[in-house]
Amino acid sequence: MPPVPIDVRATNGAYRIVVDSGSTTRLPATLAAHGITGRHLVISSPRVWAAIGRRFGRATPTLVPDGERVKHLASVSRVYDALLDASADRGTTIVAVGGGVIGDMVGFASATYLRGLRLVHVPTTVMAQVDSAIGGKTGVNHARGKNLIGAFYPPALIVVDPETLQTLSRREFRAGLYEVIKYGLIAEPALLDLLERDLDAVLTQRGDTLAELIRMCCRIKAEIVSADEHEHGLRRILNFGHTLGHALESATGYTRLRHGEAVGLGMRAALVLGAARGVTPKALASRATALIARLGPLPSVMDVPVREALAAVTHDKKVVNGRLHFVLVHATGATTVADVTTKELRAALGALGIRGR
């Protein structure tokens, strides 16, 4: 039997997430089965297409640069040029094949070219499959901060094929699992239990454990963004670990950290901050920190100047009316959003080895 799709509600209509091993090898049939017919234009990156392009048969993609360093408006202009060269019109469906950067950039281009073209996400990293492809967030970085330019633009369909993860490097694969830990902390304790018990099977992609983890995360995010599409309330809990994570990405020039690694560092700092406040139970902070450590050593950020990290935090999207909304965990599956002081942020950075003035 085909897998049961996961439905996501959005203001311009519901869309579906299909988690199905091998689905990229039969993409035209998958699109047609969900009412997406007519011309479609595949956009990917050279690195992604070299790894998995053969799965798409005779599809001829448009390839654009990939990576956080090129996730800016100039790269989106290259997507626009490709759409113009291909004579894309409002009947064209754009299929974004790649990780979070490709999804964000191509999604933003789809949202703004001709005031909106139909978009399909085919995420190919753990991070994209469990998080970034879901919820309609699109955008690019600015020199002063991550994802400061963008739009909410829900896709028409998300096609998740766990088999594409087999081509990822060990580092890239592990980086995405920090986002799975995040879901376990903010929403579903069973995810933490499953990761702790079956981490070896997940890391080696044996059996069905990984696919089940992906489905669980997709369901969680679908429920959250369906209830709060534009991040006015509930959806803010998805930012656990991201506030300082984004700041560290920015402060290191988007060259040192995978996004998931930055989230891992941000979660460690948030757990320290929460425990110091008495919000996060110390036993939970220790448990989560130990699980983060089991994924492997995170890159050092000890040389990042404190002032640069703090400056990056002040430009974060989660600053509203001059106040930073910081997500803390007070039990597995339960969070609170709090204002934090510069002193607390300095202490949290200190836990990552970032000290000084």
The one catalytic residue among 121, 174, 235, 268? 235
223 in a domain, yes or no? no
CA distances from 5 to 28, 33, 125, 156, 215 (A): 17, 12, 19, 13, 10
Among residues 115, 150, 166, the one where a domain terminates is: 166
Secondary structure element (H or E) that encloses residue 211, with its range: helix 209-227
The one catalytic residue among 188, 229, 231, 344? 231
Q: Indicate if 235 belongs to the active site.
A: yes
Same-domain check for residues 267 and 142 = no
Closest CA to 123 of 167, 152, 159, 150: 159
Nearest-10 Cα torsion for 130, 184, 219, 233: -100
The one catalytic residue among 40, 71, 137, 215? 137
Contacts of 265 (CB under 8 A, 6+ apart): 241, 244, 245, 248, 257, 298, 301, 352
Domain that holds residue 346: 170-196+229-351
The bridge status of strand 62-63 relative to strand 40-44 is parallel
Q: Indicate if 163 belongs to the active site.
A: no
CATH number for the domain that contains residue 283? 1.20.1090.10
- Residue 241 near residue 182 (C-beta atoms within 8 A): yes
Among residues 123, 149, 166, the one where a domain terminates is: 166
Q: Indicate if 212 belongs to the active site.
A: no
The DSSP 8-state label assigned to residue 132 in this structure reads I
Q: What is the CA radius of gyration of the chain?
A: 20
Same-domain check for residues 95 and 147 = yes
Same-domain check for residues 18 and 160 = yes
Among residues 166, 182, 217, the one where a domain terminates is: 166
Residue 209, φ and ψ in degrees, nearest 5 = -60, -45
Secondary structure element (H or E) that encloses residue 126, with its range: helix 126-127
The one catalytic residue among 68, 179, 188, 344? 179
The one catalytic residue among 121, 215, 259, 268? 259
The one catalytic residue among 71, 146, 174, 221? 221
CA distances from 34 to 28, 40, 127, 211 (A): 10, 14, 24, 21
Q: Indicate if 221 belongs to the active site.
A: yes
Provide the CA 310 distance to its chain's centre, in angstroms: 23
Query: What is the C-alpha to C-alpha distance for residues 285 and 282, in angstroms, rounded to an integer?
Result: 5
Which amino acid appears at position 89 of this protein?
D
CB count within 10 Å of CB 77 equals 11
The one catalytic residue among 40, 141, 239, 258? 239
Same-domain check for residues 242 and 286 = yes
The one catalytic residue among 71, 242, 258, 268? 242
The DSSP 8-state label assigned to residue 255 in this structure reads S
27 in a domain, yes or no? yes
Q: Indicate if 259 belongs to the active site.
A: yes
> Given this model, what pLDDT does residue 292 score?
97
Same-domain check for residues 283 and 296 = yes
204 in a domain, yes or no? no
The DSSP 8-state label assigned to residue 5 in this structure reads P
Same-domain check for residues 182 and 256 = yes
The angle formed by the CA atoms of residues 144, 245 and 339, to the nearest 5 degrees, is: 90
Q: Indicate if 12 belongs to the active site.
A: no
> Given this model, what pLDDT does residue 357 score?
64
Same-domain check for residues 156 and 191 = no
Same-domain check for residues 176 and 318 = yes
Q: Indicate if 146 belongs to the active site.
A: no
CATH number for the domain that contains residue 78? 3.40.50.1970
Same-domain check for residues 20 and 162 = yes
Number of domain units in the chain: 2
Same-domain check for residues 103 and 177 = no
- Residue 153 near residue 138 (C-beta atoms within 8 A): yes
Q: What is the mean pLDDT of each run of 10 residues along the chain (357 residues)?
A: 86 92 94 93 96 93 91 93 93 96 97 96 97 95 86 96 96 96 95 94 91 96 94 90 92 92 96 95 96 94 92 70 79 89 91 83
- Residue 203 near residue 226 (C-beta atoms within 8 A): no
Closest CA to 99 of 56, 148, 43: 43
Same-domain check for residues 156 and 177 = no
Same-domain check for residues 160 and 257 = no
The DSSP 8-state label assigned to residue 163 in this structure reads G
251 in a domain, yes or no? yes
207 in a domain, yes or no? no
> Given this model, what pLDDT does residue 332 score?
87
The bridge status of strand 62-63 relative to strand 319-320 is unpaired
Closest CA to 351 of 259, 274, 261: 274
Q: Indicate if 239 belongs to the active site.
A: yes
32 in a domain, yes or no? yes
